[in-house]
Structure 1
């Protein structure tokens, strides 16, 4: 398995703007290649048994129009499902999020690569007024998605499962989260973020994901 530096470099990160039903949104976008056929990657992002191995346990109806809920409290509706190339869901956090329908969506696009591999793209669009954005910038969601895609990489490579809690506390995991926060800072700058705001957001994100150890 690649080390954390290689895995960080495998992802292309960008930030942009878009729209969701609730209005104007910002996006965090992650693109990378997986050395696995498109059918295998599609199965890994839609099969409940495999989803729990790289993301979180999921319950509900994963068909078009169905509602789902993850073990961490994230929940939503399957908005589009076009196997094996496109999956789009609404993405809400906790029961209070029901007061803000249409504020966050996640879309995954897959394309066949030239060597039997798969080009993977994930776009998370959230309303710009989301409270965490001014503090953490794109790292608010970006670091979490980086960790998830690292876990997916390991599952696709050799079927292994990443223990998120232990990994994030390990030296390797802390290095990965620090590198991810910095990489999202670079994406924020490229988007046009003010350098002082970006630096503060990277620091806040790093402290959140890599707290001081007692």
Structure 2
């Protein structure tokens, strides 16, 4: 894939770190890209576990966790930005709303919030006319996923409800305007369309290999000079 910033959109894709990428936060990482536009890109590293389990995380926010399937799942290191903040990647949980209400809510959010993250979330939500996440602060991602930063999704999980498939990270990854395209041109990443089974159904330690297999590659085939697929 070429790094033509005018033509590529890597939303709902994986970035797979090339061997030459030695940055501590991204070496041998797989990043799920939640949004990519002319303003930049935002994503979550999906294969770097941190020190906390989900059970421990919920204890830290004073919530029980009544989801046995999530108890021992690791909380991931999603990237070097806002590492004190939680980001929940999960299957979309939508509620039908009148289109005019959805548009009005987005306009209010855009007027009140000044952060880049809020602007990106509002833009992503606007693409889903007549649909609204059941959670308060959520980015809707093409491909059937959402990324939520509000505590309400944790509260739902704590009582045994919420989305079935969940990944929680502390921190996220971000690229400014043209930055990701430059890194692609420098041969830092391979790119491939995301497979949600790699995110939710593959053990953390196998996600790098599994993501590369989507391209028909194995890690031993790569060197710092290999081009993009």
TM-score, normalised to structure 2, is 0.27
TM-score, normalised to structure 1, is 0.29
Which structure would you say has the larger RCO, counting Cα contacts within 8 Å and 6 or more residues apart? 2
Higher fraction of helix: 1
